[in-house]
Chain A
Amino acid sequence: MTTIGNNGVAASKTNTQPLWLLAEVTYRCPLHCAFCYNPTDYDKHTQNELTTEQWIQALRDARKMGALQLGISGGEPLLRDDIEDIVREARQLGYYSNLITSGVGLTEKRIQEFKEGGLDHIQLSMHDITEEINNFITNTKTFELKKKVAAMIKGHGYPMVLNVVIHRYNIGHIKEILEMAEALGADYVELANTQYYGWSLINRSQLMPTKEQIDHAEMITNEFRQKVGNKMKIFFVVPDYFSDRPKKCMNGWGEVFMIVTANGDVLPCHSARVLPGMAFPNVREHGLEWAWKESPAFNKYRGDDWMKEPCRSCPEKEKDLGGCRCQAFLLSGDAESADPVCTLSPNHHLIEKAIEDAKNPQLQAQPIVFRNDKNSRRIAAGEAPELVKEFHALP
């Protein structure tokens, strides 16, 4: 038996079927979350979104290759008016489908159609128990709306999956957040510590909690888990900056995950486009099968042939495959080096520095750069070099 999941045991190494297909159907979003992991230059991909027909073709092709789990995400997927069509097709093809939403745009009429079309579950993002933090971190007034949407999801008999991104502003409220989730009748709660990519990376010093806060949050989570048992499953996604080994990113490059982005790029992980010298396939030009099996991009970091020391001769390399290529590149400028999270990496000091920076009151007090079109254009045009100078790959 093989368990495969965001939180599960690794897939077997020989399995190179894209079991998970993530459709990032649009980068447009009414929210402006400070921790958004979308690319900082997303704005340039908002003009040429795939059509409904192109999405349906992608779903069919991926299903033929063995894809089973479908995530429909973004941006905010509900900004497209064809999600109903995509959902219906997904069900007919035999996917287990999941709509990943901020809740904005979910109406009684739409949820009814999703239900009839066979959408399997809805993952709703929540941010805090306080209106103040919710509205601050998303830079929108969405607090009341989210509660209404949660009730709507429950009311239609959907399993309720709440995703809460954890950062300095809400980490002190874990217990209250879990109580709220329980009161809303959540079946699954993901406490996802912020991972630092895209917008969250440039806001890192403002968002990162301390090690003590994280340990405390984990303790509270464990206590809560004991109390609720199987009724509400709680996942605590450990923040890799505070561990001594990296995560096995995406369960391995080109092992089980395939992402198709709004403009049709096919990626092995969300942020792969930051890597230098990579030409990612696009569904407008290539079939998904070629993209997955043959494309140079998907083969580049598959397995461990690409590794250099210390990973190459490391006895633990099977366990984490050297960590995240994007993180290695963003922080060190070398995509083939060990993920700096690893204490064996010669670049580990970069992580230590980031943790120190996050304790620096001056850096903490810098204004947050919210994810919005204007900021995205500024960053892409090179007009905000001070935001990105520390990181590689951003213009």
Chain B
Amino acid sequence: MTTSVNPADIYSLARHYRFQWEEAQQCYVLLFPEGMIKLNGGAGEVIKRVDGSKTVSDIVAELQQAFPDAPDIESDILAMLQLALEKAWLEKRN
């Protein structure tokens, strides 16, 4: 039912979802009707960059630059976005 994530795809957060930094928990969270997700460090960095204009490859490039010591993060990022898409946290914009 859900398609898979491609490098040229552009995503935004699904309607009604809110993403914010939580001081008390020291992590990013996603808030939506009836629930919330605490995002671990890596996931938070990915979702933070999902803004309705960057492509998936832009996001990968940005993260590779921001975390030059992390080996092979591309597959992690794609897996994260895939999961987010399946959970309907994201909407495809293009």
Bound form: Cα–Cα A141–B59 in Å: 54
- Contact flags (1/0) for B3-26 with A, using CB distance below 8 Å? 000000000000110101010110
Q: CA separation between A212 and B15, bound complex, in Å?
A: 38
Beta-carbon contact of A229 and B35 below 8 Å: no
Given A159-B15, A229-B1: A94 and B34 within 8 A (CB)? no
Please tell me the size bucket of the interface on A. 20 to 34
A94 adjacent to B20 (CB under 8 Å): yes
Interface contact B37-A1, CB-CB below 8 Å: yes
Evaluate contact between B36 and A68: CB separation under 8 angstroms: yes
Contact of A69 among B24, B25, B36 (CB under 8 A): B36
What is the minimal beta-carbon distance from A22 to any residue of chain B, in angstroms? 13
- Set A5, A68, A159, A190: member contacting B29, Cβ < 8 A: A68
Q: For residues 210 through 252 of chain A, which have their beta carbon under 8 Å from a beta carbon of chain B?
A: 229-230, 233, 235
Report A-chain residues with C-beta under 8 Å of the C-beta of B16.
120-121, 159, 187
Question: Interface 1/0s, chain B 32-70, versus A by CB < 8 A?
Answer: 111111111001000000000000000000000000000
- Once bound together, how far apart are the Cα atoms of A230 and B90, in whole Å? 11
A313 within 8 A of B: no
Interchain Cβ contacts within 8 Å, total number: 65
Give Cα A171 to B31, complex, Å: 31
A5 contacts B18, C-beta separation under 8 Å: no
> What's the Cα separation between A68 and B39 when bound, in Å?
14
Residues on the A chain within 8 Å of B88, using CB: 230, 233
Q: Which of B33, B36, B39, B43 has the most CB of A within 10 A?
A: B33
Residues of B close to A293: CB separation below 8 A? none
Measured CA separation A247–B79 after assembly (Å) = 32
> Min CB distance, A192 to chain B, in Å?
11
Question: Closest 3 interchain pairs by CB?
Answer: A5-B35, A66-B24, A96-B31
Binding site for A on B (CB under 8 A): 1, 15-16, 18, 20, 22, 24-25, 29, 31-40, 43, 88
A contacts, CB < 8 Å to B = 1-8, 17, 19, 64-66, 68-69, 94, 96, 98, 120-121, 123, 159, 161, 187-188, 190, 229-230, 233, 235
